[in-house]
Amino acid sequence: MSDSKPQCPYQTQQFGRPVDDNQHSQTAGPRGAMLMQDVHLVEKMAHFNRERIPERVVHAKGYGAFGTFTVTNDITEYCMADLFSKVGKKTETFARFSTVGGESGSADTARDPRGFALKFYTDQGVWDLVGNNTPIFFIRDPLKFSDFIRTQKRHPQTHLQPHWRRWDFWGQVPEALHQVMFLYSDRGTPKSARFMNGYGSHTFSMYNADGVRHWVKFHFKTQQGIENFSDDEAIAMAGKAPDYSTRDLHDAIETGDFPQWKMCIQVMPESDAADYHWHPFDLTKVWPHDDYPLIEVGTFELNRNPSNYFQDVEQAAFEPGNLVDGIGLSPDRMLQNRVLSYPDAHRYRMGVNYHQIPVNQPRCPYATYHRDGTMRVDGNGGGTVDYEPNTMDGPKETGRRNEPPMPVHGDGDRYDEFPCDDKDYFGQPKLFWEKVLDEGARERLCTAISNSMLDSPERIRNAMINQFEKVHPDFAEGVKSRLDAPAEEPIPIA
Ligand code: NDP
Ligand code: HEM
């Protein structure tokens, strides 16, 4: 039954006529052909044919829940955002977790980064932090995004998903290696959203009430502990319970076991950026904790399941450009591009009025001069003035300009702004191999990579092994020896 009021005790057609028979179509006599005049049947079938909207071009498989963010530490020296204004302040939230490459019906347990998209319904507008479970990404220039994503999708001729395509791409794009190592490490197959960290990944800015800017990175540390599937478990679970992680979050919330993450930030003074030894706006790099330690901000808790999946999760529209006063962008070119890309995708997927869908609506008062467009259902401004400036007391700009100016300079051209030497490509992957992974984790990394490379031809394998060699000779040897004596049958090349 629809949620619309008043509640109707009997079934109707969509314009309210009572349905007298929902079991039998109209026919010419009991054995006769169908009658075209069966309006109820035609309406029912036609609505059904239109039930699917385009799925997200990436991150199509996902699940989500509502929750609360509570400030536990004062960061007003860095940020004037109202949601951080005092310790104890609570803000309503929504989160959606996803895999990246698979279709809407694909398995939750695939080896893939996980989307970690958060919506904060603040008193000053909606803030979206659209991150992943990794602090870095495969590329650092948006011009490569669609090419990269195609390597994760289906082959144009066979509609299969051979892995050699991704290795072919990564072999030519060494800046991807850091994220590739994360992906094929133990954390590439998290059990469910509850057991993984989240990251804003990009560098953002925060500014305080005096207009002083700092660069920041956001971290969400799971309070449930990290738990992953092994490669074999993830593959088995994809057959046995492909929606494993969806159910895990739903059932935990349903039984009152509310998952929590500790939100932390790393803070870099604006002036450090010019000569910090890692490029601070390069999305393939982290800021080492010793240089910029984590500062606690608050607790992010999920505590309410959606009442309807399509309404709240499928129609959720996140966009990195949804910011609030106190939080801003950075010169990271990936972030700058995402600001355009997401609302464009939403207009295509759900139409221009997607902001009216309850999960996307601000919870604070709002007033734009937008009017009309498909599916306008909020009164469309009624008879109120629809242009500005006006003399009819329509809503006006606040005149408050809080964000400090973002310095930009230079001549418009296509630049490679990154150093692109061995330290740049392999410096942090080396730290990851040497400092973060223990012996067992290194072995499992080599096994997962070599299993995935079994369908790759020699030239593609060699390009990757050359990269692994620059991280550590044991890494190259670990993968090579497994490829030379595979435990599994190679998958036929599509
Ligand atoms: P630290 O020793 O201070 O931190 C290591 C980090 O690695 C922790 O955040 C840990 O997360 C995370 N980690 C552990 N295992 C994995 C894994 N399999 N996949 C992904 N992350 C993992 O190191 P530094 O800050 O000095 O950085 C050293 C290297 O650690 C970096 O080059 C980078 O590769 C990696 N790293 C760094 C992060 C950062 O923001 N500085 C974040 C994640 C990884 P946890 O604490 O939750 O266990
Ligand atoms: C979803 C584009 C990089 C995280 C999407 C969508 C698009 C997109 C078009 C689908 C949106 C929709 O239909 O609702 C891009 C582009 C990128 C980029 C062009 C680079 C230039 C990233 C990065 C991250 C990320 C770096 C993480 C740090 C996500 C998440 C979703 C998503 C979590 C799913 C949001 C949801 O749950 O609805 N991306 N993306 N993306 N992207 Fe990206």
147: domain CATH number is 2.40.180.10
Instruction: Convert the pLDDT of each residue in 46-99 to its tens digit.
Output: 999 999 999 999 999 999 999 999 999 999 999 999 999 999 999 999 999 999
Pocket, ligand 2, Cβ cutoff 6 A: 56-59, 62, 96, 98, 115, 117, 130-132, 137, 142, 145, 201, 316-318, 334, 337-338, 341-342, 345-346, 349
Residue 153 lies in a domain: yes
Is residue 258 within 8 Å of residue 130, measured between CB atoms? no
pLDDT at 106: 97
Q: Which two tokens stand for residue 35?
A: 């009658």
Measure 61 CA to ligand 2 centroid, in angstroms. 13
Average pLDDT, the chain: 96
| 336 alpha carbon, distance to own chain's centre | 16
Measure 155 CA to ligand 1 centroid, in angstroms. 34
Residue 441 lies in a domain: no
Contacts of 2 (CB under 8 A, 6+ apart): none
Residue 215 lies in a domain: yes
Residues forming a β-bridge with 327: 206
Catalytic residue among 132, 305, 322, 360: 132
Instruction: Convert the pLDDT of each residue in 451-471 to its tens digit.
Output: 999 999 999 999 999 999 999
Q: Atom 8 of ligand 2 has which residue's CA nearest to it?
A: 342
Residue 480 lies in a domain: no
pLDDT at 408: 87
Report how far residue 371's alpha carbon sits from residue 217's, in angstroms, rounded to the nearest whole number: 37
Q: Closest Cα to residue 228, out of 196, 260, 201?
A: 196
pLDDT at 490: 62
Report how far residue 27's alpha carbon sits from residue 34's, in angstroms, rounded to the nearest whole number: 4
Q: Look at the chain and report how many structural domains it folds into.
A: 1
Residue 342 among known ligand-binding residues:
yes
Query: Can you tell me the mean pLDDT for 198-222?
Result: 98
Report how far residue 383's alpha carbon sits from residue 341's, in angstroms, rounded to the nearest whole number: 33
- Nearest atom in ligand 2 to the alpha carbon of residue 98 is 37
3-state SS, one letter per residue, for 84-116: HCCCCCEEEEEEEEEECCCCCCCCCCCCCCEEE
The fraction of the chain above a pLDDT of 90, given in percent, is 95
Candidate from 3-17, 297-311, 480-494 with smallest mean pLDDT: 480-494
Measure 395 CA to ligand 2 centroid, in angstroms. 33
Residue 493 confidence (pLDDT) above 80: no
Instruction: Convert the pLDDT of each residue in 133-158 to its tens digit.
Output: 999 999 999 999 999 999 999 999 99
Q: How far is CA 251 from CA 99, 227, 254, in A?
A: 19, 17, 5
Report how far residue 91's alpha carbon sits from residue 102's, in angstroms, rounded to the nearest whole number: 32
Is residue 19 within 8 Å of residue 13, measured between CB atoms? yes
Q: What is the pTM of this model?
A: 0.96
Residue 414 lies in a domain: no
Q: Atom 14 of ligand 1 has which residue's CA nearest to it?
A: 436
pLDDT band, very low/low/confident/very high, at 272 (cuts 50, 70, 90): very high
Report how far residue 485's alpha carbon sits from residue 150's, in angstroms, rounded to the nearest whole number: 30
- Which single residue is written with the structure tokens 């490379």? 453
DSSP 8-state secondary structure symbol assigned to residue 425 = H
pLDDT band, very low/low/confident/very high, at 2 (cuts 50, 70, 90): very low
pLDDT at 491: 60
ipTM of predicted complex? 0.98
Active site residue 132: yes
Instruction: Convert the pLDDT of each residue in 369-420 to its tens digit.
Output: 999 999 999 999 999 999 999 999 999 999 998 899 998 889 999 999 899 9
Residue 477 confidence (pLDDT) above 60: yes
Report how far residue 244's alpha carbon sits from residue 249's, in angstroms, rounded to the nearest whole number: 9
Residue 19 lies in a domain: no
Q: Is 365 exposed, middle or buried (0-12, 13-18, 19+ CB in 10 A)?
A: exposed
Query: Can you tell me the mean pLDDT for 328-333?
Result: 97
Contacts of 180 (CB under 8 A, 6+ apart): 138, 170, 449
Reduced to 3 states (helix: H, G, I; strand: E, B; else coil), residue 434 is: helix
Q: Is the CB of 431 under 6 A from ligand 1?
A: yes
Q: Atom 8 of ligand 1 has which residue's CA nearest to it?
A: 436
Query: Can you tell me the mean pLDDT for 280-297?
Result: 98
Measure 341 CA to ligand 2 centroid, in angstroms. 8
How many Cα atoms are found within 13 Å in the side-chain-facing hemisphere of 331? 13
Residue 11 lies in a domain: no
Catalytic residue among 22, 49, 59, 202: 59
Residue 473 lies in a domain: no
Residue 239 confidence (pLDDT) above 50: yes
Measure 309 CA to ligand 2 centroid, in angstroms. 20
Q: Closest Cα to residue 319, out of 101, 54, 63, 120?
A: 120
For residue 85, which amino acid is it?
Answer: S
Structural domain that includes position 272: 41-364
Q: Which two tokens stand for residue 257?
A: 């076991």
pLDDT at 4: 52
Residue 349 confidence (pLDDT) above 80: yes
pLDDT band, very low/low/confident/very high, at 1 (cuts 50, 70, 90): very low
pLDDT at 486: 83
